[in-house]
Amino acid sequence: MKTRIKELRLEKNLTQESLAKHLGINQATVSKLENESITPDATLLISLSRFFHVSTDYVLYLSEQRLTADLLLADNLHHLKKYQHLISLYQKMTPKQQRDCYTFVCSILDGGGTSEPQVS
């Protein structure tokens, strides 16, 4: 089945390896997807759609419309609920736990966590 994965990947100036890392798959799978050797399963198709901010139909050449308003709203609501939950957990932490959490997250993102977070 023909997909727009390569086109979307190149728009973002990503290598197959970097796209694979973002999606939690291996580079060989990205190559097979782009060469149409395999078809993405539903879970991967949704991940691709979210990562590239396009509809699943667009990824699969079933539509020329990149994103529908309904999909954009659903995606935003999904992320909003996730962020609200994380904020709620963070607010329940002690100031020391918040600093440790901040330092940990910064270390994961290679931000170094050099400045102290503003704890209120």
- Residue by residue, pLDDT tens for the chain (120 residues) are 788 999 999 999 999 999 999 999 999 999 999 999 999 999 999 999 989 988 898 999 888 877 766 666 777 777 788 889 999 999 999 999 999 999 999 998 875 545 555 555
> Within 10 Å of residue 31's Cβ, how many Cβ atoms?
15
**Would you kindly state where each structural domain of the chain is located, as residue ranges?**
5-59, 69-108
pLDDT of the residue at 116: 57
pLDDT of amino acid 119? 53
Identify the pLDDT of residue 82: 85
The pLDDT value recorded for residue 111 is: 59
Q: What is the CATH number of domain 5-59?
A: 1.10.260.40
- At 79 the pLDDT is 79
Whether 26 and 20 have beta carbons less than 8 Å apart is answered as yes
Residue 53, pLDDT score: 87
- Distance, in Å, from the CA atom of 116 to the CA atom of 102, rounded to the nearest integer, reads 8
The whole-angstrom separation of Cα 6 and Cα 63 is 16
